[in-house]
Amino acid sequence: MTQIMTPSTMTDGQIDKAVEVISSKLRKELRAHQSELQSDPVQLVLGQDDLGDALYDVFRTRVEAISQTSVEEVDYDDPQWKTIDKSRYAFVGNVTAAHYPETETGKKLVRFRELEFNHDPTDDEVLTKAAKLNCRQTSRAEVETYIRKRYTPEQLAKNPRIGLIGSAVKRRGLLSRAYVDGFGAGVGLSWPWTDGHWDRRCRFVAACK
């Protein structure tokens, strides 16, 4: 199942609901933190002309973040995740299914977001950006499902899709992390050196929390 956000204009009803929800939640937070805020500075903030702009910016940022996502149904119980059938992959490095642990079960809808960079990023940069966007690393089941359902080889040749899996471990004296790579020739599984840099053409797939 693929769900893509269809562009449409915010309705009057949504505006009224947004004001209601934001007012309610802001009131709850202010009550909870009332003892932390001094009266005089609060009064000055309430008189600032751009207060509404600042509140809107927070709301808009969240809306824009969601609009850059898509949803796929992931079958975590599919037997293919228990092993690695090399005939399904363009390449398989020195990895096994154990390097791609899966804790979820059943079928679930997962919201994905792709991360882009204007330079050649490291693993740490990718993971830091994901965390700032309230996203997490994907599992093999998640990122493979996403890549295989959404992209053609031609699209992947232009911008490979990468899923970083799990924690970094030491291999041959270097820290490495298992990954899933969707590229022009197909899907691959392997280990990169975590201190290395990815090509800026890559798009990194994360799951929204």
Question: Which two three-digit tokens encode residue 61?
Answer: 């940022």
Burial of 141 (0-12, 13-18, 19+ CB in 10 A): buried
Q: How many CB atoms lie within 10 A of CB 5?
A: 12
3-class SS of residue 60:
helix
Least confident range from 76-80, 166-170, 172-176: namely 172-176
Q: Two tokens at 156? A: 């992947």
User: Which has more pLDDT, 109 or 62?
Assistant: 109
Q: How far apart are CA 62 and CA 77, in angstroms?
A: 32
Query: Given this model, what pLDDT does residue 56 score?
Result: 86
Mean pLDDT, to the nearest integer, of 4-21?
A: 81
Count of domains observed in the chain: 2
Based on the domain organization, do 60 and 80 belong to the same domain? no
73 and 101: one domain? yes
Please tell me the total number of residues recorded for the chain in this structure: 209
What six digits make up the tokens of 165? Answer: 């899996």
- Residue 67 exposure: Cα atoms within 13 Å on the Cβ side: 11
Boundary of a domain, candidates 31, 50, 67: 67
Which of 39, 67, 95 marks a domain boundary?
67
Closest listed residue to residue 194, CA positions, set 108, 118, 128: 128
Cα separation values, 189 from 8, 15, 102, Å: 39, 46, 15
Q: Which domain holds residue 53?
A: 2-67
Q: In whole angstroms, give the CA distance from residue 204 to residue 150.
A: 14
**Alpha helix (H) residue ranges in 105-173:** 123-132, 140-150, 153-158
Looking at the fold, whether 200 and 126 belong to one and the same domain comes out as yes
pLDDT at 154 over 70: yes
Residues 10 and 83 in one domain: no
As a whole number, mean pLDDT of residues 48-63 equals: 86
Instruction: Pick the last residue of a domain from 43, 67, 91.
Output: 67
Q: How confident is the model at residue 32 (pLDDT cuts 50, 70, 90)?
A: very high
* Predicted pLDDT of residue 178: 93
At residue 55, what are phi and psi to the nearest 5 degrees? Answer: -65, -40
- 3-class secondary structure for 53-73? HHHHHHHHHHHHHHHCEEEEE
Q: Does 188 score more than 60 pLDDT?
A: yes
Which pLDDT score is estimated for 173? 76
For the chain, give the mean pLDDT: 90
pLDDT above 90 coverage of the chain, percent: 77
Phi, psi for 140 (deg, rounded to 5): -60, -45
pLDDT digits (tens, 9 = 90+) for 79-118: 999 999 999 999 999 899 999 999 999 999 999 999 999 9
Res. 7: pLDDT tops 60: no
How much is the average pLDDT of 30-54?
94
CA pseudo-torsion sign 65, 130, 185, 77: negative
